[in-house]
Amino acid sequence: MIRLSKILLIVFVGLQGLFYALNNIVNFEAATSFVQGVLPMAGNEAYPNAFGPPVTSPVLIVIVLWGIILGELLVAALSFKGAYDMFRARAASPETFDAAKTWGLMGCIMALFVWFGLFMVVGGAYFQMWQTPLGGAAQAGAFQYAMISGVVLLFVNTKN
């Protein structure tokens, strides 16, 4: 039962990455507008002076959005590969099952890179996105996704 729970949690991490990537793709104009609202640091009245430059280039804004989408797709691909490997090893020895977790754990780590690293560290700390209502909402969501991915990482990584 524990092994199946671990597999299913990795599938959920993968679905989270896939669903966010697909939603960003089918809503590309809206997603671009969001990124365009964060990177130029417009509306940052609480901390109006940034230590680094804003990003205003439309080309760079689209590149950043595609980087986010690629990160989300990597969360999905790594997690699904891990869930598949874990499912195949579900009846194997504890050592074999633990070895099969590698790609699933990498999916969780990639989720931390995307939602903690990109959204909370780069978006929140550098671009100060927490200062705007839309940015603050996105950062709150990113916190939820990062933390649950971290919890899944810790749980799945426990020995069998």
Is the dihedral angle over the CA atoms 113, 116, 130, 29 positive or is it negative? positive
pLDDT above 90 (res 140):
yes
Token pair 């969360």: residue:
75
Residue 159 gets which letter from DSSP? -
Q: Domain extents for the chain?
A: 2-42+55-111+153-157
pLDDT above 90 (res 50):
no
pLDDT digit string, tens, across residues 60-90: 999 999 999 999 999 999 999 999 999 999 9
Structure tokens at 91: 């009846």
pLDDT digit string, tens, across residues 99-119: 999 999 999 999 999 999 999
Mean pLDDT of the chain: 95
